Amino acid sequence: MEVSGRARPDRVCVRPCPPPCTPPDQVAGFDGSPAEDATLFPCIIRGRRQGVGATREVRGDLMVASISWAFSGIRELENLGPRIVVKPGTVPSITGSGFGTADLSVVLMTVSPLRVLRGTWPADDTSFLTFSFLIEGFVRMVAPDRTVLLRPGSISYQQGTTTFTTESTTPATILRLSLRADEMRRYGFDTSAPVYALDPDARSTRAAYAFTTAFALAAESGTGLPGEGEVTGFAHVVKQLLTSAFLAAASSQPGTTSVRAATLGRARTVIDRTHRTPRCTPEAVADAVNVSTRSLQRLFEDAGTTVASEIERSRVASAVELLRRRPREVPLEAIAAASGFSSADHLRRALKRREGLTPSDIRGRIARPADGSVAGEVVRLQPPLADARRA
């Protein structure tokens, strides 16, 4: 099975596609930036590291290169490096497309349901910072010190090499943005945290998310690559917005930032582990992290949300996962109970409020044939193939 990228027909291919065993100096990390020792996803980017299907256009003095790659099948994914576990009877796939310059890369990725066990994702060169914008789906990251459930609208950040377990039980669409660390520091960004995630409820997070994803999706759906002026303007604004969003999260904890952040992180971990039981309440979470209920409420309010809202979000995410994985066999009452809801009606109301969907909507999406996608969609998710065999 040949590993190959998909170059777009309206652009000129820089070089022939190399064989599946791509040399390390021609590959790039999960985020699309170059890796010194990694043998992960071939794509473009800077200097001579132009991998599978790399194409480019030159606008003025700035080279804007397109990124396009695709991997499908268990064997291909196993060759990427980390241990990957997929649901039996499905064909796992990871695709990416976007653009990059010497100073940044923007890659829109679609990922089928899969689990990466203690994978080491190189953010390659620590001179670049990686930001992940979750557009669709739910992704769980289990780091040594915390568990984070990324939801649509979340922004996560990492630098250096971080080891963690990543799990997506639903198809996910992620925008990966890499920026130079020295430039981000010049804008006032604090690079001290190795892994951090912003809650989608915060106003500053929503602003950064809306601008960045709108620009990337517009570039993805357009007829050509962004021009020099567009990329320069985009980079300037997104650096300001990301710096503002992360500083706002840090400044909401004056004086005892590390202690308050640790308490908030422990509370989120407790919610993530116990939300499927009816015993998960704001009072129980506060007891588990040894603070008063009011103190915990203030911590979550400073982060732009509430304890009850976080519990409901986690329960909705679990219910969506169950509805997607077992769309017909399990009654809605059983799914509600397994997700921590008191009744099926409670689940319906929460799902409608959070996602604007009904259980039937989610089950109907799973039942839709693979060729029923709407032409011209920017985000293209590939549902599992029920009749596919393990590679």
Residue spans of the domains in the chain: they are 24-251, 257-367
- What confidence category does residue 163 fall into, taking pLDDT thresholds of 50, 70 and 90? low
- Tell me if 33 sits within 8 A of 130, measured CB to CB: yes
Task: Provide the pLDDT for residue 100.
Answer: 92
pTM of the predicted model, to two decimals? 0.53
Report phi then psi at 362, rounded to 5: -70, -45
- What confidence category does residue 294 fall into, taking pLDDT thresholds of 50, 70 and 90? confident
pLDDT tens figures, 165-207: 777 878 899 999 999 988 888 887 877 665 578 888 888 899 9
Q: Which two tokens stand for residue 147?
A: 């568990």
- What confidence category does residue 251 fall into, taking pLDDT thresholds of 50, 70 and 90? low
Q: Is the pLDDT of residue 329 over 80?
A: no
We find that the CATH architecture of domain 24-251 is: Sandwich (2.60)
106: left (phi over 0), alpha (psi -120 to 50) or beta: beta
- What confidence category does residue 160 fall into, taking pLDDT thresholds of 50, 70 and 90? low
Report phi then psi at 302, rounded to 5: -65, -30
Round to whole Å and give the CA distance between 11 and 57.
8
Report phi then psi at 163, rounded to 5: -100, 125
We find that the CATH architecture of domain 257-367 is: Orthogonal Bundle (1.10)
Hey, how many other C-beta atoms are within 10 angstroms of the C-beta on 253?
Answer: 17
Task: Provide the pLDDT for residue 378.
Answer: 38
Task: Provide the pLDDT for residue 44.
Answer: 26
Round to whole Å and give the CA distance between 307 and 251.
20
315: left (phi over 0), alpha (psi -120 to 50) or beta: alpha
Q: How far, rounded to the nearest angstrom, does the alpha carbon of residue 53 sit from its chain's CA centroid?
A: 23
Hey, how many other C-beta atoms are within 10 angstroms of the C-beta on 126?
Answer: 12
Task: Provide the pLDDT for residue 3.
Answer: 29
- Tell me if 106 sits within 8 A of 98, measured CB to CB: yes
Q: Rounded to a whole number, what is the distance in angstroms from the first to the last CA of the chain?
A: 10
What percent of the chain is modeled with pLDDT above 70?
64
The full length of the chain comes to 391
pLDDT tens figures, 86-128: 766 667 888 999 999 988 999 999 988 877 765 555 544 678 8
